[in-house]
Amino acid sequence: MIEDKTPQRTSLAQLGEFGLIDHLTKHFGVSQESTLKSIGDDAAVLDFKDKKILVSTDLLIEGVHFDLAYMPLKHLGYKAVVVNVSDICAMNAKATQITVSVAVSNRFPLEALEELFAGIALAADEYKVDVIGGDTTSSQKGLIISITVLGEADADEIAYRNGAKENDLLVVTGDIGAAYMGLQVLEREKQVFQVNPNSQPDLDAYTYLIERQLKPEARKDVRTLLHALEIKPTSMIDISDGLSSEIIHLCKQSGVGCNLYEDKLPLDPQLINVCEEFGIDSTTVAINGGEDYELLFTIKMEDFDKIKGNPNFTVIGHMVPESEGIHLITRADTKIPLKARGWNALSEES
């Protein structure tokens, strides 16, 4: 098998492709009862018994989805798992397994891949997902990560995007916008560093925002919370591309409209401060900034009492007939049509 003869920097060319995925995942355990056979054969073997199976996949490309200038590899590995797990959480289901494929150019030594997989292992442990397969290969440029996640749920608990009804309440978990502003802070620091490599950044005022960007968490707890409250969401989606864009997805697929209330948006105090510092409108950030990996869902109006005052949930609007459209109701009580912009579009403006 592969031996690490130069602990400082082992080139991947020395290793060849055979067995690299085995080397990188050899300490990964199996925690799910549904995993019968993990890495090591032509395919993994699973048994979900009478559960339904959820499958989702994401491709992450260096220079497109992440910048290694401020994203440590271990964080990147962790986040890559989280964004996939979040897709399963967004079905009101439980993530159980992932496959991880990685392509790297030869500028990456083995130690870099080990860092990446250390982050993957940490997330796999935190979210109790088994790494059941994968592929490692060389790339022509940069780092490429492809993850497919599997999950399980009972048929009657799965929440789709198309189940929202008129008068349903629109609910979001946690707070929003922080991951986007975390990215703005990091990009500013990167530019400062490029001008003066000796500068020592003081990031104390931004810790929450930076953590939301570099180490987001998937809301695996929401399924349990809702179950305990005896609430079945009528529809659900995760906030990866930005609140407005996800609201529009829910509305289009459900055939309803929506009124979203500006004064209800849950913002962290640090976000408000930093938006002021950057001279950016915090509502714009909350609505169009992405990558928060919070969940957005609708519930029946009669379930309102069950979540009222719960610190995990904020009612931010309600669904209306499709003909009424999708609007933001501002603090000044003006009605503005909501547009899907996503954080990329926002990024170009700011």
Site map for its own copies, 241-260, x if CB under 8 A?
Answer: x---x-------x-------
Measure the CA–CA gap between 112 and 139, rounded to whole angstroms.
Answer: 15
For its own copies, the binding residues in 87-106 under the rule CB under 8 A are 87-88, 90-91, 93, 97, 99, 101-103
Provide CB contacts within 8 A for 200, sequence distance 6+.
none
Q: How far is the CB of 213 from its own copies (least distance, A)?
A: 19
**Within the chain, what is the greatest distance between any pair of CA atoms?**
67
Residue 37 near residue 135 (C-beta atoms within 8 A):
no
Provide CB contacts within 8 A for 138, sequence distance 6+.
12, 17, 103, 104, 105, 106
Tell me the two tokens of residue 253: 């697929």
Q: How far is the CB of 50 from its own copies (least distance, A)?
A: 8
In which residue are the tokens 């979001």 written?
172
Of the residues 65, 165, 215, 306, which one makes contact with its own copies according to CB under 8 A: 65
Tell me the two tokens of residue 114: 């080990």
Which among 7-15, 150-158, 195-203, 277-285 is the span making contact with its own copies, rule CB under 8 A? Answer: 150-158
**Nearer CB in complex with its own copies: 45/205:** 45
238 is in an annotated binding site: yes
Measure the CA–CA gap between 328 and 74, rounded to whole angstroms.
Answer: 38
Residue 63 touching its own copies (CB under 8 A): yes
56 is in an annotated binding site: yes
Measure the CA–CA gap between 254 and 248, rounded to whole angstroms.
Answer: 10
284 is in an annotated binding site: no
199 is in an annotated binding site: no
**Nearer CB in complex with its own copies: 210/220:** 220
Measure the CA–CA gap between 91 and 150, rounded to whole angstroms.
Answer: 12
Tell me the two tokens of residue 131: 């790494």
Measure the CA–CA gap between 329 and 179, rounded to whole angstroms.
Answer: 24
289 is in an annotated binding site: no
Helix axes 110-127, 73-89, angle to 10 degrees: 30
Of the residues 144, 247, 274, 319, which one makes contact with its own copies according to CB under 8 A: 144
**Nearer CB in complex with its own copies: 306/339:** 339
**Nearer CB in complex with its own copies: 210/251:** 251
Site map for its own copies, 280-319, x if CB under 8 A?
Answer: ----------------------------------------
Of the residues 4, 33, 125, 135, which one makes contact with its own copies according to CB under 8 A: 135
Burial-class residue 222 by CB neighbours within 10 Å (0-12, 13-18, 19+).
buried
For its own copies, the binding residues in 184-243 under the rule CB under 8 A are 236-238, 241
Give 133-183 as a DSSP string: EEEEEE-SSSEEEEEEEEEEE-GGG---TT---TTPEEEEES--SHHHHHH
291 is in an annotated binding site: yes
Residue 215 near residue 293 (C-beta atoms within 8 A):
no
Tell me the two tokens of residue 101: 């494929």
**Nearer CB in complex with its own copies: 65/165:** 65
**Nearer CB in complex with its own copies: 54/178:** 54
Measure the CA–CA gap between 50 and 117, rounded to whole angstroms.
Answer: 32
**Nearer CB in complex with its own copies: 249/300:** 249
Of the residues 77, 123, 127, 151, which one makes contact with its own copies according to CB under 8 A: 151
Query: What residues form DSSP beta bridges with 337?
Result: 327
For its own copies, the binding residues in 2-31 under the rule CB under 8 A are 18
Which residue numbers belong to the known binding site for Mg(2+)?
42, 56-58, 87, 135, 238, 241
Residues that bind its own copies (CB under 8 A): 18, 36-37, 40-50, 52-59, 61-65, 87-88, 90-91, 93, 97, 99, 101-103, 132-135, 137-142, 144, 146, 148-151, 155, 158, 160-162, 236-238, 241, 245, 253, 340, 342
